[in-house]
Amino acid sequence: MKKRAIIMVAILLFGWLTVWPAYGVEIAGRISDREIVERLTRLEGSLKAIEQGQQAILREIDKRFEAVDKRFEAVDKRFEAVDKRFETMDARFGQMIDIMVGIILAFAGIVAVTIIFALWDRRTMIRPFENKIKQVEEDIAHNRAKLGKFLEVLRSLARTDDKLAEALRSFSLM
């Protein structure tokens, strides 16, 4: 019997504990159609406000994208300006190269003219000497026979004159 009493108390406690949280719920009264319509109109108003806020946010985002687009356009313009600067630099380098080639060609021309002038000057300066040497060679060739006869005369005189013989020997002519 004690067991039954304990079981009954346990069942009552268990039942009471399971029903007890239900007492915390407040039973709402019936809402009238008018209240429902009022709440729905308030919900529509708040939804419109939310939509307007979203549209304002979207407009702000669009403005920011437009600002970013403008910045990109400005960057593009800067790149175009840099490209133009590079083009002008390329043109300047081309001009500098042309000037350098001109200077080198002018220098080479001056050197070539100087060398040609030096060769021409040497030739014109040496020609008179060459003419004189040819004339002397012709005279020597013409007088060679006379010189040989002159040496023979000196040798024959050296047989009788000791001083002349000594002089001819000193020059290996006897």
pLDDT at 25 > cutoff 80:
no
Cβ neighbours of residue 154 under 8 Å, at least 6 residues apart?
164, 168, 173
Quick one: pLDDT band at residue 16, thresholds 50, 70, 90? low
Residue 32: pLDDT over 60: yes
Q: Which of 23-27, 44-48, 63-67, 116-120 is predicted with the least confidence, judged by mean pLDDT?
A: 23-27
How confident is the model at residue 75, as a pLDDT? 93
pLDDT-derived band at 158 (thresholds 50, 70, 90) equals confident
Is 90 exceeded by the pLDDT of residue 92? yes
The predicted structure's pLDDT at residue 127: 86
Residue 14 above 80 pLDDT?
no
Among 51-55, 130-134, 148-152, the least confident range = 148-152
* Cα–Cα distance measured from residue 70 to residue 64, given in angstroms and rounded to the nearest whole number: 10
pLDDT score, position 21 = 55
Share of the chain above pLDDT 90, in %: 45
Are residues 151 and 173 in contact, defined by beta-carbon separation less than 8 angstroms?
A: yes
Average pLDDT over residues 95-118: 96
